[in-house]
Structure 1
Amino acid sequence: MLSTYASTQQDKALEGTTVLSMDSFKPAFGTVVLAGAMAAMAPAQAEENQSTTAAPAVLQEIRVMGEVPNDTYQTPSKLSSPKFTAPLLDTPRTVNVITEQQMKDRGATSLQDVLRTTPGITLGSGEGGTPVGDRPFIRGYEASTDIFIDGLRDYARGSHETFNLEAVEVIKGASSAYTGRGGTGGSINLTTKAPKLEPFAELSAGFGNADQWRTTADVNMPVGDTVAIRLNVMKMGGDVPGRGGPEIDRFGVAPSIAFGLGTPTRLTLSYSELKNKDTPDLGIPFANAANDRDTPPNVDRENFYGRLNADFRNNTMKTSTMLFEHDFSEQAQFRNITRHSESLNDYLMTRPSFDNCKANSGPPCSTEGPDAQFKRDNRARWRYNTAIQNQTDLYGTFSTGSLKHSYSAGVEFTYEKVFSRAVGGLPATDTDNLWNPDPNKPYKFNLTYGPKTQDGYIKTRSIYFMDTIELSEQFLLNLGLRRESFTVDNMKLKRKDDFWNYQLGAVYKPAENGSIYVSYATSSNPAGENLGQGGGADGVGGSASVRDMKPEKSYSWEIGTKWDVFDERLSLTGAYFETHKTDARTTDPLTGDVTLNGSNRVRGIELGASGAITPRWNVWTGYTYLAPKIKSYRNGNNVYDGNQMKFIARHSASLWTTYKILPELTLGGGVTYLGKRYVDDANTLELPSYFRYDAMLQYDVSKSLSLQFNANNLSNNALYDASHVGVFANVAPGRSYMFSATYRWE
């Protein structure tokens, strides 16, 4: 691959002109020579020749009129958290960054939209105890409680939006040293928008099929030389394309103000509120013991198996944040972030299944025949969370002899409380025809709520230290250590665990723009980390042996390489990795007690590319292969040793690219592939693989006004996002169109 550099003088008369010449080269992987035609298409970048010897030959300049776009899909040089003490190129682990520009181009409005097209991630489903919301699996392991906002854990367990996001950072591999408990397969950090000193405003409005509509506003205003305010607002409504009735009703607002911008001492105050008032949709009934099907029944994708006159979801998430920063010098910076958050999940939803249809004197439970029936069960809950978090970081650089250190040291305190109310007066369960369900049936019910009671609390205290040591220009060491004290109390039983987690990494730089690395990291999952949310072996609400158990332990190692090519506009990554959970929970077949004698592992490879191939050609692509294996797991008398871990696809890939064919016209398109996934430990039920095709067209009417058309799932295939152990299967949206107009002034 070849990067070309142009040596030019600034010419104000040629504003918006790109000047290409070939007076120096920087090959990426060794010396590679491309044809002259390809060189002419390569990106140009000014570089002054500092040589004091003979001047190089200068080829004829090629002047191309037109503006070069500034927004690309190139990953940032550093991640947002100060815990990452090295540039991303020299960080010894895989990190996927989805930029704001990419989210806009793809028309992604939710975190689920973003993760659905990210290789190495599959989606899970709640059943009611675990609420409907974002439930990702990263490299084979659940990460629903490993979602962070600006570096602080998010306790909301809801559905996240993109209207106030600058980027989504997916950190892969065991990450407890960075993030604390959990993080077996990785974690997700949402980076929010912050006030800036440049004035601008951006208004957008869009309309689509299924009566979809969406409006957003992003206004930033400086107040004096060092103060700025910013306001982001979003409102979205309509139906879900390809589903017969579920509605979307979403609102978000995020004001913020920053003091001391451009000075050593800065204070940012921000607030965010997101409300989802939509129709919960658990998809279609899947299977039970009486069926011999191994995939979901072939029903009309438009069929809605819930109750339009009864089901609802009120999901509210509020956060108030204070960020204080001070630069003592270029070698030492201080940061303290305090957040108060609260969230509410209040819902009544239908769980469609084939369970116990005969109990209601209906036809047999079956997916075959014109009279096949399914059952509507109630799932209702009222759950309220509140949390206070404080995190302090001291970071910077120092030297010990010839060794250069880039460090980050910090402490963290969190306190989460969980409340619930008993929900009564539910509608009666009923059965209906599988092939032609009626979601408009009238239901008589009168919901009643009991008093609010505290279900429990979680307290954590952590201290951590990260250090990147530069041994020489070519060799780096990356070290990390965290000590965490975790206390959980469900008002019946209290447990406290203290544990260490660490990471080790070595980086070799054969060139300034490339690295080869190997790393090792650990993670811990204490009992009760979800405070019983979802029940079973994951929570303090399970059996006594689960409640009294030590944390599950995991470790992962990774060997990989990263290269920034085309004048650091395109990032290439490749890695081989393994994650082992050595102390997984399992059931003793003799006593029925839950023990830590289980184990599983996931190994795989990941390849990725993100950035700009030319100034007009952006690309974001990746491929992940996973081999998830249950090494030892028993549930009663059932033995699952050697089976594939459920919910995980072996193959996943995504490609999205845009090309500016004219200065004002950009075309984009992409394809996503997800392989089949088993949804039960016995590997008898599976969700089929699928391809999804998306497209985009953008036209800049003027410097301020742009029009955009997005079409997703062009083939209108029935795509399954997830399943709850085969009881039902969640259906992804069908073909959707959205036409939007955006006006921006600066």
Structure 2
Amino acid sequence: MSQVKKGGQAKGCLIINASICSALVGMAVSAMSGEVQAQTHLPAVEVKADAEGYKARETIAATKTDTALRDIPQSISVVTKKQIEDQAAQSLAEALLYVPGVGFAQGEGNRETPIFRGVSTTGDFFVDGIRDDVQYYRDLYNIERVEVFKGPNAMIFGRGATGGLINRVTKTPTQTVIRDASLTLGSNSNRRATVDINQPISENLSFRLNGMYEDSDSYRDGVSIKRKGINPTLLMRIAPKTNVTLGYEHFEDDRIADRGITSFGGRPVSVDPSTFFGNAAGSPTWTKLDAFTALIEHTFDNGVELRNRTRWADQDKFYQNVFASGPASGNTAASTFSVGAYNNMTTRRNFFNQTDAIFKFNTGEVKHTFLVGTEFGEQETTNFRQTGTFAGSSTATLGNPTNTTPVTYAQSATDANSRTKAKIAALYIQDQIELTKQLQIIAGLRYDKFQVDFRNNRNGATTRSDDGLVSPRVGLVFKPIAPLSLYANYSIAYQPRAGEQLGSLSAADADLKPEKFKNYELGAKWDVTDKLAATAALYRLERSNMRVLLDPNNPNSAVLTDGQRTDGFELGLTGYVTNNWSVSGGYAYTDAIFTKAISATVQAGARVAMVPKNTFSLWNRYDFSERVGAGLGAIHRTKSFAANEQTPAGPNVILPAYTRFDAAMFVKIDKNWRAQLNVENLFDKEYFINAHSNTNITPGSPRAFRVTLNASF
């Protein structure tokens, strides 16, 4: 292994005025020849009926064009609005429970941390195809569906998107009157209300309003959640072929940061699932988010489509933990464990602008859908962290795991006090080529100029990282028969040295190449019927340029190595088996390992944390009549490690395998009213959901109920 440095990368202005670029694209569009296929409609004027129950038909985000899922050479799972409602899902983790190959780590109890193909992330979230780069628990009150793209996706989405990503598609105004409301009451004082109102004002103007309020407790002692959100959206047809959609969201989330329980002897300690370790009252976390979005769409007379999307977001976030910071000394009530404390305040301001032009034309018998696009962005983040010092004992016992000792917070020598400013300018092109009815090719290339300026406010030191990222994607689709697609895919993505949250950049790391992720994938997509889809994917994901310190005391001794590999297989099934029976779920085999030593405790052969080798999930809904239906779901996960640190001496903490069942009942009272009962963990199974480390493990909920009353007028 040898140290790898970047070189030959051009410096200079990173952000180009987006309006100039848009004008240039518009000029190019207007100059297109008559070969472009005429098209008189304007896309996305209405929300398309592209889902049949649980089965989605197409997506825009994967290619930035209207493309059938069957024609995209990539593993994609879509959780539709119908499935979200049937499962009474209130968070992303709940909505994705039945998606094969996706899991969630604990995220320190204050943010979502999905795991795609052995790669965890807190940054690969998008909304309507544009980056949603803030750390919080995303709600589903204003979401039409959730799309999960697996494998590296940098060609379309830019930096990050390494193992996969989540794209939320928001509810937008239509020409249909909507008057929907719901009220949910459940176990642990679950109290939640939502409203969805859509009002056409004229044939050229529609307004939609989504709102939510929740005030709930938890099965975990002392843990509560209060959140509220409002999202008005306006769609205007300002010309026969020009639409403008404007939206604003205000969202607040106040809760207790829950780090779970600790471990002893290689497994979680044996306590009641409700037991909080540390101090719940001393662990508040809150976030406030304001976001503005604007979408402008125009179709030219020659059929060329132009789309410009802007998102501005402003987030303030605070979290504090008083938590178990070490394993227990034994497994009796008198056994002690250490307690730690810290807090962190983060502010983040995001601005992203995307412009896409889509051309459809023929070269002889070959059909093309050609995309050219640009993205410009600026992101500014401040971090201020403090470590807690206990006035007395910093331990607790398994018999009394709450530590109420007063804590004083102040900056330690290693606590962050920093400001990061990131700038991005990107250009991407893509061609979807239909050689014949049976053979298609998707090829694309993206170039990102990505610059990070990091300032350590403690000493005034500044560091800059300047990357030129080239991200290709090539896919082949072959259709031996119309309902069946066989595909092959190759793609690359990068993670800059400042990390997924751009939170730290040392001088020693600034010149190191970014982490690199390569994905090789073969798969099949089969529309078994018009309402039922089956998918299969076989892949290898390789992670390279991983940073290793030869001398832990010398930051300049860093070298890069090819350090992680994931081999896997995924099966998925969604849609209607019969007119009355809906299903969604699948199976995933995921073999994620470190191929070389990354640190003293993460050795070659260690398994990636929180990644079971085998997972199975299947949700079913059966309608006995137009008025009565029932649901039954099963989730099985084999054992996994709580942390990457696995040594022969141990103890290496293992989360045991488990199988959990969920159930539901649905009743249509009349044409306006519907009621449903959802039961989580039907057989009251004791299990562990996830972890952040060997000493922070989240127990699963005991049996819990939710009753929802839905009204539509």
TM-score range (shorter-chain normalised) is: 0.7 to 0.9
Following TM superposition, by how much is the alpha carbon of 1:443 offset from its aligned partner in structure 2, in angstroms?
Answer: 5.3
| Matched letter for residue 355 of structure 2 | T
1:739 aligns with 2:707: yes
Query: Which of 94, 99, 102 is residue 80 of structure 2 equivalent to?
Result: 99
| Matched letter for residue 327 of structure 1 | T
Following TM superposition, by how much is the alpha carbon of 1:236 offset from its aligned partner in structure 2, in angstroms?
Answer: 1.0
Provide the C-alpha distance between the structure 1 equivalents of 2:388 and 2:211, rounded to a whole number of angstroms: 36
Query: Which of 203, 214, 217 is residue 236 of structure 1 equivalent to?
Result: 214
1:503 aligns with 2:478: no
Per the alignment, residue 171 of structure 1 pairs with 149
Give the conservation status (yes or no) of the 8 Å contact 1:673–1:692. yes
Give the conservation status (yes or no) of the 8 Å contact 1:122–1:137. yes
Following TM superposition, by how much is the alpha carbon of 1:447 offset from its aligned partner in structure 2, in angstroms?
Answer: 7.0
1:493 aligns with 2:434: no
Provide the C-alpha distance between the structure 1 equivalents of 2:262 and 2:516, rounded to a whole number of angstroms: 35
Provide the C-alpha distance between the structure 2 equivalents of 1:689 and 1:124, rounded to a whole number of angstroms: 16
Provide the C-alpha distance between the structure 2 equivalents of 1:181 and 1:111, rounded to a whole number of angstroms: 22
Query: 1:310-321, aligned counterparts within 5 Å?
Result: 310-321=282-293
Query: 1:530-545, aligned counterparts within 5 Å?
Result: 530-533=500-503, 539-541=504-506, 544-545=507-508
For the aligned residue pairs, the C-alpha RMSD in angstroms reads 2.3
Per the alignment, residue 526 of structure 1 pairs with 496
Point out the structure with max Rg over C-alpha.
1
Provide the C-alpha distance between the structure 2 equivalents of 1:87 and 1:170, rounded to a whole number of angstroms: 15
1:573 aligns with 2:535: yes
Provide the C-alpha distance between the structure 1 equivalents of 2:376 and 2:181, rounded to a whole number of angstroms: 38
Following TM superposition, by how much is the alpha carbon of 1:639 offset from its aligned partner in structure 2, in angstroms?
Answer: 6.3
Query: Which of 95, 100, 108 is residue 119 of structure 1 equivalent to?
Result: 100
Per the alignment, residue 59 of structure 2 pairs with 78
Per the alignment, residue 9 of structure 2 pairs with none
Q: Deviations over 1:485-524 (max 9, x none)?
A: 1111112201101020101111111111111111111111
Query: Which of 117, 129, 132 is residue 139 of structure 1 equivalent to?
Result: 117
- Unpaired segments of 5 or more residues in structure 2? 1-50, 456-461
Provide the C-alpha distance between the structure 1 equivalents of 2:113 and 2:302, rounded to a whole number of angstroms: 40
Give the conservation status (yes or no) of the 8 Å contact 1:546–1:595. no
Give the conservation status (yes or no) of the 8 Å contact 1:207–1:738. yes
Percent of aligned positions that are identical: 27
TM-score, normalized by length of structure 2? 0.86
Change (3 A) 1:634 1:442: closer
| Matched letter for residue 585 of structure 1 | R
Following TM superposition, by how much is the alpha carbon of 1:448 offset from its aligned partner in structure 2, in angstroms?
Answer: 8.6
Q: Deviations over 1:285-341 (max 9, x none)?
A: 125xxxxx1111111112111324322111222211011111114731111011110
Per the alignment, residue 560 of structure 2 pairs with 596
Provide the C-alpha distance between the structure 1 equivalents of 2:396 and 2:418, rounded to a whole number of angstroms: 41
| Matched letter for residue 493 of structure 1 | T
Query: 1:225-624, aligned counterparts within 5 Å?
Result: 225-241=203-219, 243-260=220-237, 263-286=240-263, 293-329=265-301, 331-354=303-326, 366-421=329-384, 423=386, 428=391, 430-431=393-394, 433-437=396-400, 439=402, 444=406, 455-491=419-455, 492-533=462-503, 539-541=504-506, 544-566=507-529, 568-588=530-550, 593-624=557-588
1:189 aligns with 2:151: no
Q: Deviations over 1:134-159 (max 9, x none)?
A: 11110111232111111111111111
Give the conservation status (yes or no) of the 8 Å contact 2:59–2:67. yes
Query: Which of 592, 614, 635 is residue 628 of structure 1 equivalent to?
Result: 592
Per the alignment, residue 8 of structure 1 pairs with none
Provide the C-alpha distance between the structure 2 equivalents of 1:429 and 1:665, rounded to a whole number of angstroms: 59
Provide the C-alpha distance between the structure 1 equivalents of 2:378 and 2:270, rounded to a whole number of angstroms: 47
| Matched letter for residue 144 of structure 1 | T
- Unpaired segments of 5 or more residues in structure 1? 1-69, 288-292, 356-364, 534-538
Give the conservation status (yes or no) of the 8 Å contact 2:495–2:514. yes
| Matched letter for residue 247 of structure 1 | S
| Matched letter for residue 211 of structure 2 | V
Provide the C-alpha distance between the structure 2 equivalents of 1:470 and 1:645, rounded to a whole number of angstroms: 40
Following TM superposition, by how much is the alpha carbon of 1:427 offset from its aligned partner in structure 2, in angstroms?
Answer: 5.8
Change (3 A) 1:688 1:739: same
| Matched letter for residue 315 of structure 1 | T
Provide the C-alpha distance between the structure 2 equivalents of 1:630 and 1:82, rounded to a whole number of angstroms: 32
Number of corresponding residues: 647
Instruction: Name the SS for the 1:253 alignment partner.
Output: strand
Per the alignment, residue 697 of structure 1 pairs with 665
| Matched letter for residue 392 of structure 1 | T
Change (3 A) 1:294 1:444: closer
> Which runs of structure 1 show a deviation greater than 6 angstroms over 4 or more consecutive aligned residues?
446-450
Give the conservation status (yes or no) of the 8 Å contact 1:384–1:418. yes
Give the conservation status (yes or no) of the 8 Å contact 1:373–1:431. no
Query: 1:678-689, aligned counterparts within 5 Å?
Result: 678=641, 679-682=643-646, 684-689=652-657
Query: 1:7-86, aligned counterparts within 5 Å?
Result: 72-80=53-61, 83-84=64-65, 86=67
Provide the C-alpha distance between the structure 2 equivalents of 1:253 and 1:426, rounded to a whole number of angstroms: 39
